[in-house]
Structure 1
């Protein structure tokens, strides 16, 4: 008999779960912690990209603070890692999530956010472009997220997608000093330069 210890036990449990297609939220929630982050996509466990960079985290923090300053009376902001449980076999972890206070008891549960939030924000990194622009966007359309932002630090832009007839049309693109306009979040009053000007340059290694 082979005896597995420590990480080997965890790896075997995770391998067993991955082989049992499709996975459910219960499987996902009961996985042993191996230090990685995962999402559940149509019952398939997906390993997320490496931990966000310091620049990514600073941008996330700045956006969170701006939205909190502008919209705290109406919205609660959650930052990753936070499970957004769209369905029993679909769990996503956006970088930022907004829930209107009127919907707090409807969607905010002890295990995470259950259902469709009012806004999700993804901040692109070299490792996440395909996932954010394709896989995650499909989930957000399928579960009818009414507004979705992609922050593109490399191009110093914010792309705003507004759900329309079960799809996201071409986005509104905000650059430099363009004030972000949102019918859903009329409280928002910042531009992408407000965010980026507070992000210090990180010295090369």
Structure 2
């Protein structure tokens, strides 16, 4: 949720499909919102479930510790990722999302407002309220903008699917479950033992 205060716009038109990042910066909304192709997508007004937060903070901590002496940086939501097309001007950007976790290795993409351009790795942790958005709209957005690796974690079933970008298209892994050790192709050397990772998450 953006925190900039501006009395000129408080309730954007949810049916309008050409909102920009410049519009987004003026909104005062209780819900976290994202823009995909200029259309507003609201996240749940309530806080995420505890299991979602537990998974997020544990994975972000593992990535942070692994990357501590490396050029890549890890960020957790709320953290704006903007995907520019022809221009980086605020009024020309129509895709702004807040992934649960993202890793950016090109620090030139970072500014005081977040990331402008594709992160190298994005992780989304699914819940019943956000699965449709993550699986359809964000999949297409991340693929078309060149996010090299996209992890989808199912919190309730404690499994993981990885989409890796090859020749501009995502190729899915098999479904990883307890007992599997998952290795990132983008964050070289980073592995995740799912049995160990999920053993204290309920």
Q: Which is higher, the Rg of structure 1 or of structure 2?
A: 1
Shift in Å, 1:187: 2.5
2:36 match: 41
Q: Give the distance between the partners of 1:112 and 1:20, measured in 2 at CA.
A: 25
- Contact (CA 8 Å) 2:9, 2:26: kept in 1 or not? no
Matched, 1:62 2:58: yes
Matched, 1:24 2:26: no
Question: Against the structure 1 CA distance between its residues 16 and 188, is the aligned structure 2 distance closer, same or farther, given a 3 Å change threshold?
Answer: closer
Within 5 Å, give how 1:1-205 maps onto structure 2.
Answer: 13-18=9-14, 21-32=17-28, 34-50=29-45, 51-74=47-70, 75-87=72-84, 88-100=93-105, 103-104=106-107, 106-199=108-201, 201=202
How many equivalent pairs are there?
A: 187
TM-score of the superposed pair, with normalisation by structure 1: 0.83
Q: Give the distance between the partners of 1:19 and 1:184, measured in 2 at CA.
A: 37
Q: Give the distance between the partners of 1:114 and 1:17, measured in 2 at CA.
A: 25
Q: Provide Cα deviations, 1:60-90, integer angstroms capped at 9, x if missing partner.
A: 0110111122232222110001110012000
- Contact (CA 8 Å) 1:174, 1:191: kept in 2 or not? no
Q: Give the distance between the partners of 2:151 and 2:31, measured in 1 at CA.
A: 25
- Contact (CA 8 Å) 1:17, 1:27: kept in 2 or not? no
TM-score of the superposed pair, with normalisation by structure 2: 0.85
Q: Give the distance between the partners of 1:150 and 1:21, measured in 2 at CA.
A: 27
If each structure's helix is expressed as a fraction of its own residues, which one has the higher value? 1
DSSP-derived class of the 2:83 partner: strand
